[in-house]
Structure 1
């Protein structure tokens, strides 16, 4: 029962974060370098944990490298398609809906599959590796998202520094 409660809480938290992410795909967000810097560190750390947990077999290393390369490519394309708007002294940005949606769908699909796997696995005393469980290719799917956000946020911060301040 305790494991099911934890799973329900994780699903609720992730669902809330996904809803906030989807909303952010369609609205303007203020570019706050400190917040984005924190997210860069967080996503880089979690991505490193996923890489370490996936193991170092040939298939998982290839999966991780492909996931990172795809994430970097999506981050570059996403940042180039992001719209910026100056409102007073603050700079706002609006992410490209299609790129953000692709990354969100990849995450939701992988998360839903993992939750299905956890809920249908036989109950044993062995712990389940949520990060790397299942296919050796699955961590590569998650690394697409982590690499995307790290690259995307770094490029947003750089564009924010390059944007001219409003002339009074």
Structure 2
């Protein structure tokens, strides 16, 4: 196997973005409503694109429905286990660590699977046309991507809703629940 800069540079870029994704996903994140709104738009467009693939291949509707149900289940669990923190005048939030781990595991496993499949399909990276057409027909990848898209759309919408005048009330209720226990 001959490694060239042509194959090393994309790998370095991919590793860098994966590092940023993992670092951003685990732990407290700053509350930035503009970024959350942008995330909603991007994932909505992504989900719309996936649903167009399903129109071309109707057998994928089942995986889209499973992705929707799984995404809403994660949103429901994340809403129940969200925590906020105020540091240096900024508000930070995070959800339960298991939601973050599930999302990262799903994303990384499907990503690594597809990259491995890409390399095994055409190690010389010259015949990517047939591979790019197969992405839309892989049911599990479509289902996992739709699950992630639905989660981020639902959770970001919830955070934006909370950030509008309800954040203080949410913190008050959470403290009240803790004191009641």
TM-score, normalising length from structure 1? 0.80
Cα pair distance change 1:28/1:124, threshold 3 Å = closer
Residue 100 in structure 1 maps to residue 87 in structure 2: no
Where in structure 2 are there 5+ consecutive unaligned residues? 170-181
SS at match of 1:86: strand
Q: Is the 8 A contact 1:74 1:148 kept in 2?
A: yes
Q: Is the 8 A contact 2:53 2:137 kept in 1?
A: no
Q: Is the 8 A contact 1:59 1:137 kept in 2?
A: no
The structure number with the bigger radius of gyration is 2
Q: CA RMSD in A?
A: 2.8
Counterpart Cα distance in 2 of 1:52 and 1:6: 31
- Alignment partner of 1:139 out of 138, 142, 161: 142
Counterpart Cα distance in 2 of 1:67 and 1:105: 15
Where in structure 1 are there 5+ consecutive unaligned residues? none
Counterpart Cα distance in 2 of 1:125 and 1:104: 26
> Post-superposition shift, 1:89?
4.5
TM-score, normalising length from structure 2? 0.75
Question: 1:42-81 counterparts in 2 under 5 A?
Answer: 42-81=42-81
Residue 163 in structure 1 maps to residue 162 in structure 2: no
Residue 32 in structure 1 maps to residue 36 in structure 2: no
Q: Is the 8 A contact 1:54 1:136 kept in 2?
A: no
Q: What is the aligned residue count?
A: 162
Counterpart Cα distance in 1 of 2:19 and 2:111: 14
